[in-house]
Amino acid sequence: MSLDNLRRKINRIDYGILKLLQERTELALRTKKFKEAIHDREREAQILEQLKKYSSILNLIQGDFVEKLFTEIIRENRKFQEKKKSLIGFQGEHGAFGEVAARYYDSDLVTIPCSEFVDVFEAVEREYMDFGVVPVENSLGGAVTQVNELLIKTNLKVAAAVKLRINHCLLALPESDYRELRVVYSHPQALSQCRNFLNRNNLETRPFYDTAGAAQMLAREKPKMAATIASKLCAELYNLEIIKENIEDNPSNFTRFFILAREEKKVPANRCSIVFSTPHKAGTLFSVLRIFAEADINLTRIESLPFRDDPGHYVFFLDFQCEDVQNSIEDILEKVKQKIKIFKYLGCYQEEVFQ
């Protein structure tokens, strides 16, 4: 064991401590939704007493140091709670492209990881979080079915949309030699989108549940001769080295994300989204689309999914440009309602593209 090895271990522990402090602060911010007062002296005293008691078992950590340290940590968490920061949930681990999209939308929001897409919807619906960010469609992979199915039933509105260019990076541990890399972990979709790069470099693929999760695993477990495909943000968050950027096969790889909220955001809009189902009669869909054609409105998306509540029928997702017709949207949508069976208005919002 050399001095350099010991120092590298200390560095990893330091990064781990920072990550845990970040996680603790996130949880503290989430508790604010469940209590009336920010300052709970009884709870804080209980925490400090328990930690001091535990420190008595550890022969290198003294009780007075523990009390000073955690008093300051709790005080710092309380400051964040008092700032009344808004929370936005995303699916996956920190560093996921959903978090990247959320940061582009509003860098002042506190990003909170959720296990599943349904957890993002439920957190916003139950007011545990202020916003949610979910991927709706990818330019290569098409619609994100699970998210679109959730949009059919939710009462949430689309507050904004972010169209994000997906830049995949090959990440490795700082101490790795890129010439010795043999295995790459990532989400199956990311692996497929970088197939040419992986084949050229004779890299074996190992599917993982999440791109950011793969980066987190690499940083924690440090498998030999291994790398991951993930976002640039993951390199910063998990102290990984970027071996190569933009390794995706197709440079026109964009994912469109919806920012969800309990209420529609009243801002100048350039997009509008609706969901509808038509009667099972010939020509009904055409009659709906003709309304938009006659109003000279450009449709930017039309997608269909089987309607699980009514087997044999389909639900249509339709987005259209609305910059020049905001004053007449209500009239247009009223005409649409007269032609269809089920109608859901998701909202008019601002969509931005980030390269």
**Using CA atoms, how far apart are residues 22 and 237, in angstroms rounded to an integer?**
11
Place of tokens 């001769």: 225
Those residues with Cβ within 8 angstroms of residue 61's Cβ, 6 or more apart along the chain or in another chain: 55
> How far apart are the C-alpha atoms of 258 and 312, rounded to whole Å?
28
292 is catalytic: no
Count of other CB atoms within 10 angstroms of residue 182: 12
Strands of the sheet containing 226-230, edge to edge, are 204-207, 183-186, 226-230, 169-172, 241-244
| Calpha distance 268→279 (Å, rounded) | 33
Catalytic status, residue 111: no
Among residues 255, 278, 292, 317, which one is catalytic?
A: 255
Separation in Å, CA 189 to CA 1, 22, 95, 205, 206: 40, 29, 16, 11, 12
Q: What letters, b where the CB count within 10 A reaches 16 and e where it falls short, cover 72-88?
A: eebeebbebbeeeeebb
Name the active-site residue from 97, 208, 257, 292: 257
Residues with catalytic roles: 255, 257
